[in-house]
Amino acid sequence: MTGESSDCNVAVIGAGPYGLSATAYLRAASVETRVFGEPMAFWEKQMPAGMYLRSHPMASHIADPKQELTLDVYCGKSGSPVPKPVPLDRFVDYGRWYQGQAVPDLDKRHVRSVEIRSGGFRVVMEDDEEFTARRVVVAGGISPFATRPAEFSGIPSALASHTSEHNDLRKFKGQRVVVIGAGQSALESAALFKEAGIQVEVIARAKALNWVGLHARLHHLGLISKVLYSTRDVGPAGISRLVAMPLLFQKFPRGFQDRAAYRAIRPAGAGWLKPRLQDVPITLGCRVVSATTSGSRLLLKLDDGTDRLVDHALLATGFRVDVSKYPFLSESIVKQLNVKNGYPLLKRGLESSIPGLHFAGKPAAWSFGPLLGFVSGAEFASTELVHSMTRKNGN
Ligand SMILES: Cc1cc2nc3c(=O)[nH]c(=O)nc-3n(C[C@H](O)[C@H](O)[C@H](O)COP(=O)(O)OP(=O)(O)OC[C@H]3O[C@@H](n4cnc5c(N)ncnc54)[C@H](O)[C@@H]3O)c2cc1C
């Protein structure tokens, strides 16, 4: 196939929840679509084994146009109830099952580059095959956006690594580890370390930990709960409803959107983690001011004047969107894109300032709000894509 060229209408890059869902919706609307990438690779390779989804099962369905491929249907077929919380390995299996049902002809190859050419885009695959696509949907996830605090620059990854570099934390057996951060990923990693018998301490700048899901009562008040919470399950009472309506959310003043988005996605742990963290030392209100190697170990100095000599620092320091970091986007695309703080500015249909180039998932969150950073935002994203591509002359 090397060097062979064929045309396609829509090329979707990425086979996580957003790419799979978008493809299922577009095909159901008779939009010819090809999708590329390893299915659910980020979840399988860049999250720790033993993890549970923080999102509620009702917000962990990968949207499909007929609602025949929900998590409930998948669990029903395998004869077991939907687990709560949902274990990571079940979710990966679910995503693969979804892919087998909705997109059996998924092309698992990696896309190497995308550049503009007249009437669309030139897409080059990892094996040099190239083709043209009228439209490209980037559903490449957040992996390239992992953030590493400046204090750790220059420290080898054997001593300080980002959470997304691991899928099995048991490899740190016998080591002394610190986890930097106060969000779900930090707290769950610490619990997994402790349960594997690994000596761990959490260090975070936050003065107090935030927890979600501790107000179960509020979810069982019938109509009142429905008014307060959306089934999309992003954000606290009230904000949850607003965030679930991206076209309304984007109409609010920017300052309000930013505050509501922060409130919806601020670092927080799921309530069910609390008991698993008993006996884990957690140092709050503290910043690492320097990290240096000391023999084969890592010496951390904190701003409270104390030191830690450890074997490894796990950086649960999150992801900061910067679409210029997608390695497959050509320089000229990156130059021409209108961006704000690293996010592409998108209009209806998730279409960027470059006609025919769309972004689904977290990069769409600047334009459409925090829902787009979660699996439960895929329905909105997919229906927007269909809407824009099936309008007159859109297809
Ligand atoms: C630790 C952790 C826990 C999380 N837990 C939850 C949760 O409980 N619930 C929730 O809703 N969200 C959760 N999230 C957020 C989650 O990342 C997003 O909801 C979800 O991944 C979005 O799906 P996606 O399809 O945009 O991205 P991904 O699932 O990351 O899929 C993107 C895919 O694109 C592929 N790709 C990238 N570049 C190329 C290329 N050049 N060619 C081909 N393929 C390519 C990648 O390999 C990847 O498989 C969590 C995130 C993290 C880091």
Q: What pLDDT digit, counting tens, does each position of 39-63 carry? A: 999 999 999 999 999 999 999 999 9
For residue range 363-394, list pLDDT tens digits in order.
999 999 999 999 999 999 999 999 999 985 55
- Per-residue pLDDT averaged across 59-81, rounded? 94
pLDDT at 236: 83
CA dihedral in degrees (225, 226, 229, 233; nearest 10)?
Answer: 120
pLDDT, tens digit, 9 for 90 and up, residues 163-190: 999 999 999 999 999 999 999 999 999 9
As a whole number of Å, the end-to-end CA separation of the chain is 27
- Please tell me if the CB atom of residue 187 comes closer than 6 angstroms to any atom of ligand 1: no
From ligand 1's centre to the CA of 42, what distance in Å? Answer: 5
Q: Does the CB atom of residue 369 touch ligand 1 within 6 A?
A: no
Q: Which atom of ligand 1 is nearest to the CA of 48?
A: 1
* Average pLDDT, integer, range 59-72: 96
Is the minimum distance from the CB of 41 to ligand 1 under 6 angstroms?
Answer: yes
pLDDT of residue 2: 43
Task: Write 379-384 long-range contacts (CB < 8 A, 24+).
Answer: 379/21, 379/63, 380/246, 381/18, 381/21, 381/22, 381/350, 382/18, 382/21, 382/22, 382/24, 382/25, 382/26, 382/63, 382/65, 383/25, 384/348, 384/349, 384/350
Tell me the two tokens of residue 50: 């033993």
Q: What secondary structure letter does DSSP report for 293?
A: E
pLDDT recorded at residue 78: 85
Query: Is the CB of residue 63 below 6 angstroms from any atom belonging to ligand 1?
Result: no
Q: Is the pLDDT of residue 3 over 80?
A: no
Mean pLDDT confidence for 196-211: 96
Give residue-wise pLDDT tens across range 137-148: 999 999 999 999
Among 45, 185, 375, 380, name the best residue to mutate to test ligand 1's pocket (greatest count of ligand atoms within 8 A of Cβ): 375
Span from the CA of 371 to the centroid of ligand 1 (angstroms) = 14
Strand ranges (DSSP E) for 126-217?
130-138, 160-162, 176-180, 199-203, 211-212
- Average pLDDT for 342-346: 98
Q: From the CA of 373, how far away is ligand 1's center (Å)?
A: 9
Substitution candidate for ligand 1 out of 12, 20, 42, 58 with most atoms within 8 A of CB:
42
From atom 19 of ligand 1, which residue's Cα is the shortest distance away? 374
Contact 234, 291 (CB under 8 A): no
pLDDT at 392: 59
Closest atom of ligand 1 to CA, residue 17: 25
Q: Which of 47-56, 108-117, 234-243, 265-274 has the lowest mean pLDDT?
A: 234-243
Per-residue confidence (pLDDT) for residue 5, from 0 to 100: 52
363 pocket-lining for ligand 1 (C-beta < 6 Å): no
Share of the chain above pLDDT 90, in %: 88
Whether ligand 1 lies within 6 angstroms of the CB of 328 is answered as yes
Distance of CA 208 from the midpoint of ligand 1 (Å): 28
Where does the pLDDT of residue 328 fall: very low under 50, low under 70, confident under 90, or very high at 90 and above? very high
- Please determine, for residue 276, whether its predicted confidence score (pLDDT) is greater than 90: yes
The answer to whether residues 204 and 182 touch, using CB atoms and an 8 Å cutoff, is yes
Asked if 19 and 53 count as a contact pair (C-beta separation under 8 A), the reply is: no
What are 96-154's pLDDT values in tens digits? 999 999 999 999 999 999 999 988 999 999 999 999 999 999 999 999 999 999 999 99
Is the minimum distance from the CB of 308 to ligand 1 under 6 angstroms?
A: no
Quote the ligand 1 centre to 242 CA distance (angstroms): 23
State if residue 234 touches ligand 1 by the CB under 6 angstroms criterion: no
Is 201 a pocket residue for ligand 1 (Cβ < 6 Å)? no
| CB burial of residue 116 (10 Å; 0-12, 13-18, 19+) | middle
pLDDT of res. 229: 82
Tell me, what's the pLDDT at 125?
97
Does any ligand 1 atom lie closer than 6 A to the CB of residue 375?
yes
Q: Is the CB of 36 under 6 A from ligand 1?
A: yes
- What percentage of the chain has pLDDT greater than the value 70? 94
Looking at residue 171, the DSSP 8-state letter turns out to be G
Query: Average pLDDT, stretch 349-374?
Result: 98
Spatial separation of the C-alpha atoms in residues 346 and 385, rounded to whole Å: 12
Q: Would you state the pLDDT for residue 177?
A: 98
Identify the pLDDT of residue 233: 84
- What pLDDT, on the 0 to 100 scale, is given for residue 216? 63
As a whole number, mean pLDDT of residues 70-90 equals 93
Q: Is 65 in the pocket of ligand 1 (CB under 6 A)?
A: no
Most confident of 78-82, 213-217, 281-285: 281-285
* Cα–Cα distances in angstroms (integers) from residue 340 to residues 7, 141, 359, in the given order: 32, 18, 14
User: From atom 33 of ligand 1, which residue's Cα is the shortest distance away?
Assistant: 14
Averaged pLDDT of the chain:
94
